[in-house]
Amino acid sequence: MSDDRTDTLSRRTVMGAAAGIGLAAGGKAAAAPAAQPAASGAALKDPTTAYPKPPFAEQSQPFPGLAGKMDPRPDHGESSYRGSGRLTGRRALITGGDSGMGRAAAIAFAREGADVAISYLPEEEADAREVIALIEQAGRKAVALPGDIRSEAHCKTMVAETVRRLGGLDIVVNNAGRQQQRQSLLDITTEDFDATFKTNVYAMFWITKAALPHLQPGSAIIQTTSEQAYDPSKNLVDYAMTKAAMMNFTKSLAKQLGPKGIRVNGVAPGPIWTPLQVAGGATMEDLKQFGGKTSLGRPGQPVELGSIYVQLAAADASYATGQVYGAAGGTGQP
């Protein structure tokens, strides 16, 4: 049998608490809170219609191409990305930081509080100048490093200059890439093959090797690999090979550097609207329908990957290493 006094006290306590909750300021009872609509800043956004969809206009540019001349112009987060101090005080080097995912990462890193150095080809100066201005507008240090990363000497100099001008190095993003479609293996020259591997694989090796002596526990290395590493297209043989190499570099190096407290991860984009596509990376027919076969029916925009790079660089992702994060609109792997 239960204790009646205990039951009574319990009921009184519960009723008293409920009454207290129901009283508003001034002693008036408050109505039960009604469901409130989401704030405008948190409104849901349909990913299928959030950005441009094919068909796209016919267009081409000489390699490496400029984002500023694309139609439509890619969105790297110039007006939309908002930071919250997740990378305050960090120092980053991003290759290919003038456009594409590198530019999105540079903008996001700066607005999260990091100082940023970007590398790019001299032909990409117009795009790079815009990125440098955006980093500085965020109140952070910006370092421009034009040059060709197919040169080992330039890669070493670039890392040394980043360390000198930013006072150190905590984040390395190996993002710069060369992609030139060829319909047949017979059309890939030795010069093509060499240029693609030097840009995508050798430079990653040289830059990471030069950076390692400067990286402390808590530092992060991030590679931009691709869905091509897992599901290669028939006309991107050499490019897909390099992206598979980058993926394996990520997983192997993560095991080597884990005990040192340095995390190594990758990002594997699917079809993303960048200058690579209009500068020889896709056929004209593929370009006009670019991204149309994904589940979302459109290509991704670089801004849609910016937060992934931030997450992989941030301290709260401290258990993520040896991972490859995909963003492919419902296609590809992982």
- Domain ranges across the chain: 84-327
pLDDT over 70 percentage in the chain: 88
Residue 6 has pLDDT above 80, yes or no: no
What's the token pair of residue 70?
A: 């694309």
Length of the chain: 334
Average pLDDT over residues 160-168: 98
Q: Is the dihedral of CA 246, 249, 253, 255 positive or negative?
A: positive
Asked whether the CA dihedral 65, 68, 71, 72 is positive or negative, the reply is: positive
Mean pLDDT in residue range 229-245:
97
Helical segments of 169-283, H only: 190-197, 203-211, 237-257, 275-276
For residue 37, the model assigns a pLDDT of 45
Torsion sign over Cα 241, 246, 250, 256: positive
Task: Count the Cβ atoms, other than its own, within 10 Å of residue 136.
Answer: 13
84-327 is a CATH 3.40.50.720 domain = yes
List C-alpha distances in Å: 206 to 85, 154, 155, 169.
30, 9, 6, 15
Alpha helices in 23-140 (DSSP H): 100-111, 125-137
Helices (H), the chain: 4-22, 100-111, 125-137, 152-166, 190-197, 203-211, 237-257, 275-276, 284-288, 303-313
Reported as a single tens digit per residue, the pLDDT across 21-37 is: 333 333 333 333 344 44
239 in active site: yes
Q: How far is CA 203 from CA 94, 216, 232, 256, in A?
A: 12, 21, 22, 19
Helices and strands in the chain: count of H runs, count of E runs: 10, 7
Spell out the residues 6+ positions from residue 322 whose beta carbon is closer than 8 angstroms to its own: 250, 251, 254, 255, 258, 264, 265
- DSSP structure class, residue 281: I
In this prediction, residue 41 has a pLDDT band, given cuts at 50, 70 and 90, of low
Give the mean pLDDT of the chain. 90
Structure tokens, 179: 């992609």
| Confidence band for 38, pLDDT divided at 50, 70 and 90 | very low
Residue with tokens 């009646």: 4
Q: What is the pLDDT of residue 159?
A: 98
Contact (CB, 8 A) for 224 and 177: yes
Q: Does position 293 have pLDDT exceeding 70, yes or no?
A: yes
Q: Specify the 3-state DSSP secondary structure of 119.
A: strand
Active-site entry in 81, 230, 239, 325:
239
Alpha carbons 82 and 39: distance in angstroms, whole number = 16
